[in-house]
Structures are given as structure tokens and as C-alpha cells.
Amino acid sequence: MGAIGFPALQSIASRAVPDDAQGALQGVMTSLASIAMVIAPLLMTQTFAVFTDGTLPFYLPGAPFLLAALIMALCLMV
């Protein structure tokens, strides 16, 4: 998704800012993407571990996907 979505998002966002702010926009967007690439694996592996270790009354190996869908839905509301 990132290979398709991120360039499209950059294209849309770059039209919304003046020419002299393009560098700042691209820097902020790349910084946020980098932070997400660090946080997401940590969050999703812990989510997977919690929902598959047997301590909960149910087994849900798809929990990271549900969490990702929830995060995407929240982002779309903003």
C-alpha cells in the first residue's frame, strides 16, 4: 500500500502548498512515514503476541490486521 498510496498522497498534498514550502512538506511527510515504519512493527508484533499467547479466552491471530483497519478508519475520520 505504501508504494502506491504514499506517492499519490505526496502529489495531492504538493498541490495544496506554495512552491516555496514544497521542501518542508516533503520533509514532514517523509518524517511521519519513517516514524510509522518504526512504530508499526513494534505495535503489531506485540498485538499479535497478546492475542495468540493463550492467556486470553479467545485466539485471534488476525488482531494486527483489525488494529490496522481501526487505525485507518480513525485516520479517514480526521
CB atoms within 10 A of CB 6: 13
pLDDT score at 4: 82
For the cut 70, the answer to whether the pLDDT of residue 1 exceeds it is no
Per-residue pLDDT tens digits for 18-53: 999 999 999 999 999 899 999 999 999 999 999 999
- For the record, the C-alpha cell of 62 comes out as 488476525
- In 3D space, the residue among 42, 40, 20 whose CA is nearest the CA of residue 32 turns out to be 40
pLDDT score at 3: 76
